[in-house]
A and B are shown apart, each in its own frame.
Chain A
């Protein structure tokens, strides 16, 4: 019983760490403009819209976060192997990984922006100075919490994977969950605030991103402020639920039916999520209503 309670407690802590990690990951990627919406930031100068938005997507979020979390976890693992205290080892590992992220951010911004020189997009030195440190700070939160979560899975819950491999697995999953959930909010609601709420962005408006804030030109720091209201927390809840439910169903139900209990619990959870999703879909259809009237309904 005590062992079970311990397992549930660790699952809860891991889920909470994952939630913070997901929220910080999405906010970092929105400030650094790393997810899929980045294509619009890259496209804007070509359409004649010069901007001060940071742009550092030279690969997707999942491989980038896979790298950083693996670096953090690998360094922490190496430091623990030479008898460093685990807390200190995780902090040092995450800090060094963040410096790699900082180098990546700087070179990616300079390289991507320099490639737009023929469209007269300048490289803003003050943007590098102000934004890079802020993305690094958010990345540290994301990396530290994710590495700590992986450490708990290996050392407290006894998962067979070594810490760096665990970091790779959950780093890629973190990037995938964050880029899937948070990206639309940043891509549409932040970049296209001149477009009407409650509709998709017409293809003809591609590249016409909003470039001015309440006072002066908008920089990527405004993106962090805006998307931390919904995109970040939604990504956090997404990654937190994935981690917590994955651990919870295994720890709580694996004893039943020779391991099949955890599988059955997983199937039930998937069905519950499907029902909730269908409810949301129907709610949206009823509330927002059809954009065009019966004509197309009959045709369909």
Chain B
């Protein structure tokens, strides 16, 4: 156990019962969707689940040090996992929703880059404060060497701490996490928007133009909600702090993938049924 809370070993496996229950729920949600509306709505649900998986996986890349990072006791960004990932993903969703009319590919890429850019700026300013505000160099507590730059860390760690600052590998991890979060959030938004634009005019008995603002609003709200659901599941999987892709806790991501798949399937099913039925 780490002195700063949370296990540092990582890689605890999944229980067989959990896997079976998860798979049953996943198949049940997909089957229900297939029975209710095969075709476009079913494909959308599958892609919504993929979006949820991207968010859950992406959160594991984001270097978060929580309260210890704010004291220079551990490396990472001094905030909570869910919050930071949500901030980055939602900034991506903003860009993706803006680009939605330019096509599927541009919207997804726009969302991903929006999230990545948010994290790139945040990580840079975090390092500015660490270096010039607190006077500490970046040093990881989990690995001896930075896997990208080859910098050694042991000699740069303050006495009595588990490292501090934001090593380059964590910076790159943050940008990747932001990109995946923005991509996943935008995918969910675009798919739900497509479903609502298709089915809401029929169920509400109104013209497509009249329904569009409602479709955009509901798709956006549900995309934000599903973003938080998946980010919270991933944060519970991480428990406490994580430095990025080099952290041993990163290996726990398969559990979060399973949890996010089930949660996204059920949330997505409800979100789509609302318009289809």
Q: Bound state CA distance, A250 and B107, in angstroms?
A: 12
Counting CB contacts under 8 A, is A206 at the interface? yes
Nearest CB in chain B: distance from A154 CB, A: 11
8 A Cβ contacts from B111-137 to A: 113-114, 116-118, 120-137
Whether A61 pairs with B83 at a CB distance below 8 angstroms is: yes
Contacts of A273 in B (CB 8 A): 117, 120-121, 123-124
Counting CB contacts under 8 A, is A102 at the interface? no
Counting CB contacts under 8 A, is A165 at the interface? yes
Counting CB contacts under 8 A, is B19 at the interface? no
Whether B125 pairs with A234 at a CB distance below 8 angstroms is: yes
Q: What are the nearest 4 A-B pairs in CB distance?
A: A176-B87, A202-B160, A187-B70, A200-B72
Q: Bound state CA distance, A299 and B164, in angstroms?
A: 20
Counting CB contacts under 8 A, is B34 at the interface? no
Whether B128 pairs with A172 at a CB distance below 8 angstroms is: no
Counting CB contacts under 8 A, is A71 at the interface? no
Whether B88 pairs with A200 at a CB distance below 8 angstroms is: no
Q: Which residue of A lies closest to B118 (CB)?
A: A242
Q: Which residue of B lies closest to A270 (CB)?
A: B120
Can you show 22 pairs from A to B with CB atoms below 8 A apart?
A35-B78, A61-B79, A62-B80, A161-B97, A162-B213, A180-B122, A183-B78, A187-B71, A192-B71, A198-B134, A198-B135, A200-B163, A201-B72, A237-B125, A250-B95, A250-B99, A276-B124, A280-B127, A281-B131, A291-B155, A291-B156, A300-B155
Counting CB contacts under 8 A, is A258 at the interface? yes
Q: Bound state CA distance, A285 and B126, in angstroms?
A: 16
Other A-B pairs, 8, CB within 8 Å; known A176-B79, A262-B95, A297-B152: A177-B125, A184-B130, A188-B134, A197-B135, A234-B129, A285-B156, A299-B154, A300-B154
Q: Bound state CA distance, A145 and B95, in angstroms?
A: 20
Counting CB contacts under 8 A, is B109 at the interface? yes
Q: Bound state CA distance, A245 and B88, in angstroms?
A: 14
Whether B168 pairs with A281 at a CB distance below 8 angstroms is: yes
Question: Which among B3, B90, B129 is the interface contact of A169 at CB below 8 angstroms?
Answer: B90
Nearest CB in chain B: distance from A93 CB, A: 18
Counting CB contacts under 8 A, is A274 at the interface? yes
Whether A165 pairs with B158 at a CB distance below 8 angstroms is: no
8 A Cβ contacts from A276-300 to B: 276-278, 280-281, 283-285, 288, 290-293, 296-297, 299-300
Contacts of B137 in A (CB 8 A): 281, 284-285, 288
Counting CB contacts under 8 A, is B9 at the interface? no
Contacts of B117 in A (CB 8 A): 242, 245-246, 249, 266, 269-270, 273
Counting CB contacts under 8 A, is A91 at the interface? no
Contacts of B69 in A (CB 8 A): 36, 183-184
Contacts of A300 in B (CB 8 A): 144-145, 152-155
Contacts of A182 in B (CB 8 A): 129
Counting CB contacts under 8 A, is B171 at the interface? yes
8 A Cβ contacts from A35-59 to B: 35-40
Counting CB contacts under 8 A, is B98 at the interface? yes
Counting CB contacts under 8 A, is B4 at the interface? yes
Number of A-B contacts (CB under 8 A): 310
User: Residues 60-99 of chain B: 1 if any A CB is under 8 Å from the residue's CB, otherwise 0?
Assistant: 0000001111111100011110111011101101110111
Q: Which residue of A lies closest to B149 (CB)?
A: A278
Question: Which among A184, A249, A259 is the interface contact of B103 at CB below 8 angstroms?
Answer: A259
User: Residues 152-193 of chain A: 1 if any B CB is under 8 Å from the residue's CB, otherwise 0?
Assistant: 000000011110011011101101110111111111110110
User: Residues 201-242 of chain A: 1 if any B CB is under 8 Å from the residue's CB, otherwise 0?
Assistant: 111111000000000000000000000001100110110011
Q: Bound state CA distance, A39 and B135, in angstroms?
A: 22
Contacts of B153 in A (CB 8 A): 300
Count of chain B residues near A, Cβ 8 A: 88
Q: From known contacts A62-B86, A231-B129, infer whether A198 and B136 are also in contact, taking CB-CB under 8 Å.
A: yes
Which B positions have Cβ atoms within 8 angstroms of A?
3-4, 66-73, 77-80, 82-84, 86-88, 90-91, 93-95, 97-100, 102-103, 106, 109-110, 113-114, 116-118, 120-138, 144-145, 149, 151-168, 171-172, 175, 213, 216-217, 220-221, 224
Q: From known contacts A61-B79, A201-B161, infer whether A177 and B103 are also in contact, taking CB-CB under 8 Å.
A: no
Contacts of B128 in A (CB 8 A): 234, 280
Highest count of chain B CB atoms <10 Å: which of A186, A230, A238, A269: A238
Contacts of A297 in B (CB 8 A): 152, 154-155
Whether A189 pairs with B114 at a CB distance below 8 angstroms is: no
Whether B77 pairs with A180 at a CB distance below 8 angstroms is: yes
Q: Bound state CA distance, A206 and B90, in angstroms?
A: 34
Contacts of B114 in A (CB 8 A): 246, 266
Q: Bound state CA distance, A199 and B130, in angstroms?
A: 10
Whether A188 pairs with B221 at a CB distance below 8 angstroms is: no
Nearest CB in chain A: distance from B179 CB, A: 9
Counting CB contacts under 8 A, is A114 at the interface? no
